[in-house]
Amino acid sequence: MKYSKIIGVGSYLPETILTNADLEKIVDTNDEWIFQRVGIRQRHIIGQSDDTVSTMTVNAARKALENSKLQANDIDLIIVCTSTHDYLFPSAACIVQRELGIDNNCPAFDLNAACAGFIYGLSVADQFIKNQTARNILIVGVDALTKTVDWQDRSTCVLFGDGAGAVVLQVSDEPGILATHIHAAGRYTDALSAKSLLWSSEPPSIHMKGNTVFKIAVTQLGNIVDQTLVKSGLQKSDIDWLIPHQANSRIIEATAKRLNLSMDRVILTVAEHGNTSAGSVPLALDYALKQGKIKHGEVLMLEAFGAGLAWGSVLVRY
């Protein structure tokens, strides 16, 4: 049996940092209000810089490729997970292919599952490797949701940051990805949405029913933790680290409690990064590796929840 193993990780964050104190100057809010509700102190934003979703994607992808020790043309599939690409077409994946000099005509496509995008992307990539149709896959999670927020809506503008994270998956005889689960509930599409400029005369902005999203996220992420453990045959005690979507510290704490994990076994970047949507989980993974927290052979539970409503998990032995 063939497995998918993570062999390279990389990330990119814009240089501009927007703190809660900065937000106090433009909207009716304060640091205490924001931190108590979601656990965020600051976020990186594209702002007025030259960064775009495309450049963030390429920068994170380049670092992951370098860390993998592969050559560009070793990559035989590219998946970019985003809901905020700066082009309608071509795909961000094709731009990565061009910028990295991958000229082997490998397939490249974008995937949109909002904040759950990277988890969906890992699940899809795992199938390609198990089906023996790809050997080295580059997956990038990236978003720039600060380009879509209404800066006068304090219920949403305080939540989001911009950034990108990437991994390279390689076929392996040793277990890497142990189990994946992805789900969606389209009946809740109105709970979290942002309309395209193509079909609206108003500027794009995020609309969220916060209480609805919170309740469903806590319930479904708890359920998916149990489903993933059953599928893998592991126990809660086998999990070394939880690497969750960095949206809300209270949701993260609820998931950790379901796993019987203390918070010192949870990778937290929400205070510094905010909610970077599809970039959230790979950014947190790269952060943890740079901090020397995660060791080879340890078991990681990755999970995310977002608009769709869509959610998923990946259990991986690093």
CATH code, 88: 3.40.47.10
Q: What is the model's pLDDT at position 200?
A: 76
Bridge partners of 170, per DSSP, are 5, 136
Q: What is the model's pLDDT at position 196?
A: 87
215 and 137 share one domain:
no
181 and 158 share one domain:
no
Rounded to whole angstroms, the Cα distance separating 168 from 247 reads 24
Q: What is the model's pLDDT at position 199?
A: 85
Beta-carbon neighbour count of residue 264 at 10 Å? 8
Single out the residue in 136, 156, 172 at which a domain terminates.
Answer: 172
Single out the residue in 144, 172, 200 at which a domain terminates.
Answer: 172
Rounded to whole angstroms, the Cα distance separating 60 from 85 reads 15
Q: What is the model's pLDDT at position 205?
A: 85
Domain hosting 252: range is 177-317
Please state whether the peptide bond connecting residue 282 to the residue before it is cis, i.e. omega within 30 degrees of 0. no
Q: What is the model's pLDDT at position 260?
A: 94
Q: What is the model's pLDDT at position 164?
A: 98
Q: Which residues contact 99 (CB under 8 A, 6 or more apart)?
A: 58, 61, 62
182 and 254 share one domain:
yes
151 and 291 share one domain:
no
17 and 165 share one domain:
yes
Per-position pLDDT tens, the chain of length 318 = 899 999 999 999 999 999 999 999 999 999 999 999 999 999 999 998 999 999 999 999 999 999 999 999 999 999 999 999 999 999 999 999 999 999 999 999 999 999 999 999 999 999 999 999 999 999 999 999 999 999 999 889 999 999 999 999 999 999 999 999 999 999 999 999 998 888 877 777 899 999 999 999 999 999 998 999 999 999 999 999 999 999 999 999 999 999 999 999 999 999 999 999 999 999 999 999 999 999 999 999 999 999 999 999 999 999
Distances (CA, A) of 53 to 43, 86, 95, 205: 16, 6, 11, 17
Virtual torsion, Cα 65, 9, 115, 162, nearest 10 deg? -80
Please name which of 125, 103, 183 lies closest in space to residue 7, comparing C-alpha atoms.
125
290 and 144 share one domain:
no
Element (H, E) at 53: helix 53-68
Q: What is the model's pLDDT at position 198?
A: 85
Q: What is the model's pLDDT at position 67?
A: 98
Q: Could you tell me how many residues make up the chain? A: 318
49 and 110 share one domain:
yes
Sort residue 83 into left (φ over 0), alpha (ψ -120 to 50) or beta.
Answer: alpha
Provide the token pair at 308: 């769709």
22 and 152 share one domain:
yes
Catalytic residues: 115, 245, 275
188 and 77 share one domain:
no
End-to-end Cα separation, the chain, in angstroms: 18
Provide the token pair at 261: 């994990």
29 and 165 share one domain:
yes
Rounded to whole angstroms, the Cα distance separating 179 from 254 reads 21
The SS3 of residue 107 is coil
**Total domains present in the chain:** 2
269 and 301 share one domain:
yes
Rounded to whole angstroms, the Cα distance separating 220 from 255 reads 10
307 and 244 share one domain:
yes
Provide, for the chain, the percentages of residues in helix, strand and coil under a 3-state DSSP scheme, each rounded to the nearest 5. 40, 25, 35
Overall pTM > 0.95: yes
Distances (CA, A) of 51 to 58, 87, 144: 11, 14, 10
Distances (CA, A) of 302 to 53, 162, 194: 23, 20, 25
Single out the residue in 156, 172, 188 at which a domain terminates.
Answer: 172
DSSP letter assigned to residue 190: G
Residue whose token pair is 């731009």: 95
